[in-house]
Amino acid sequence: MEIQKLYDLDETEFEDVTIGLVRLAKNVPDHEFFFAVNQQNDLTFKRIDDLIYHGSYYDYFFPRFEAYHKFTKTCFTFISNRSSESKQKKLQTELFTGEENIKFLLNNQVEVQYILHSSEQFPDFSVILLPENLVFPIQDYTLGSEEELYQIIQYYE
């Protein structure tokens, strides 16, 4: 008798993840932005361990801020789109490696300051009140499972 496979990893479909793109109207430091956000909400965003991306020549560090919404029982995480620091691992000896000392998680969205992620499959970012004078409306963005940022978010979840 043959053993039946319950599932095949190659055929498993991963669901897309919805994130929010946060663009600031003016350039302010992280601590000022989150102070303003915390003042308007019953959430308290706190700095947590940085997201670390390991490149070939640099390790990149992206600040993360997290809060838990008690009413909806949802965890919200803001991830900086731009690396705050990088540490060189080895010297670049080739031209045009494509790796610099600054990295963006979303290369095609360099004007985005923060990526907002939720623990929910269908997130409702409207529960977070953002300061109107500092932030443009949050834009929903869908990440497919083949995208690198999707894999990074799954790893840190």
Per-residue confidence (pLDDT) for residue 11, from 0 to 100: 44
Q: What is the chain's pLDDT, residue by residue, as a tens digit (157 residues)?
A: 444 444 444 444 567 889 999 999 999 999 999 999 999 988 899 999 999 999 888 999 999 999 998 888 889 999 999 999 999 988 877 776 777 889 999 988 999 999 999 988 778 888 899 988 899 999 999 988 888 888 888 887 7
Token pair 């670049």 in the structure block, residue: 92
Per-residue confidence (pLDDT) for residue 124, from 0 to 100: 86
| Assigned token pair, 144 | 């497919």
Per-residue confidence (pLDDT) for residue 14, from 0 to 100: 62
Q: What is the dihedral of CA 112, 116, 122, 128, to 10 degrees?
A: -110
Question: Would the CA dihedral through 68, 25, 121, 129 be positive or negative?
Answer: positive
Per-residue confidence (pLDDT) for residue 120, from 0 to 100: 83
| CA proximity to 53, closest of 101, 1, 11 | 101
Per-residue confidence (pLDDT) for residue 28, from 0 to 100: 93
Record the pTM. Answer: 0.83
Please tell me what DSSP assigns to residue 82: B
